[in-house]
Amino acid sequence: MHGAGCTPDVFAAQLAAFPDALAPDLHALAPDAATVAEYAEVLNAVLADIVGPFALVGSSMGAAVALEAALTGPTPSALIAIGCGPKLRVAPQILAAIENDFEGFVATMPPAFFAAPTPALAGEAVRQLRAVGQTRTLADFRACDIWDIGDRASTLALQALVLTGEHDLLTPARFGQSLANRIPGGEMRILTDAGHLAMAERPAETNDALRAFVVTS
């Protein structure tokens, strides 16, 4: 599950590495969603059609959606949360920038998404933000800002891996560790030389972590 302002293309490297993987477009499934819980509701409708065990992988807001879905719907065999904490608070100036100067916001995001944004990574991030658009991106970030899993994380009866980029500016490692500590079956791993969108910036390392964790869960 992709994060705020992103499309399923953010998981291109994972879709190529795992042929059975699905990457739903949350914006297409719930174009008017105002909360993480609303996204989770439509995700659970998709999961209801899956036969057999499955793992959930989400990035940032998508990780929050995966966590909410696991709390309210079918239990996955494993859950991997990338760039996520128990809360996803958004600075007021970011919300204001999305609302008042969307193109300016788009231009500033690649350094926040990646430890070392190459032209290709930066260009793809900008393309996805523009494809999602101002209205949906603002709704996503507002949904993140009010989401808080709180003590509910302790009720998750599953194996969970929290992956955090070493240089994640949006959700630093201490927040990832806090999330992992709240989940009884949670563990934390830091991906070196990666930022917030670690699966795009360090795809091989991310894929190795996903493969190893899902196989052992």
Residue 194: pLDDT band (50, 70, 90) is very high
Is the separation of the CB atoms in 148 and 87 below 8 Å? yes
pTM of the model: 0.96
First to last CA, the chain: 20
Instruction: Give the percent of the chain with pLDDT over 70.
Output: 99
Is the pLDDT score of 217 beyond 90?
A: no
Give residue-wise pLDDT tens across range 22-75: 999 999 999 999 999 999 999 999 999 988 899 999 999 999 999 999 999 999
